[in-house]
Amino acid sequence: MQMFQIVVIGAGETGTPLLQQMLNAPFVQVRGVADLDLNQPGIALARQHGVHVTTNFMELVDHTVDIIIDVSGAPSVREILRSNMVDTGNTHTLIVHESIAMLMMSLSAGRLVASKHGNMEYA
């Protein structure tokens, strides 16, 4: 079975429910979770499942990751990720913007799931 290789950036109120869904999916391998605050609930959840956690999201980024889900709420993170993809020639990894993650969570929940972050525009 093909497994999606996923990295999640942001382990707070938005990232944790999304992470829970991915950890329960047999076709997803969560390769790592990053957050500046290692006391976030998503970090604890990742650790319970033996998933690598870090405060440095860039250590999780490489050409073997299929999808990076950025729910950090930080435009600077999106810009750094986009620049890295260009600079390294990584045409494989997709970066999922928080707006798309919120849409997918809303569809899964059958109701609108609101973001906890304000500005989701690019830097």
121 is a domain residue: no
- Buried b / exposed e over 44-64, threshold 16 CB at 10 Å, is ebbeeeebebbeebeebbeee
User: Checking DSSP bridges between strand 53-54 and strand 67-70, what pairing results, if any?
Assistant: unpaired
Percent above pLDDT 90 for the chain: 68
15 is a domain residue: yes
74 is a domain residue: yes
Is the predicted pLDDT of residue 52 greater than 80, yes or no? yes
- Residues of the domain holding 92: 4-109
34 is a domain residue: yes
pLDDT in tens, 8-21: 999 998 889 899 99
- What pLDDT is recorded for position 117? 59
The H helix count followed by the E strand count for the chain is 4, 5
Q: What is the CATH number of the domain that holds 102?
A: 3.40.50.720
116 is a domain residue: no
Counted domains in the chain: 1
Read off the pTM: 0.89
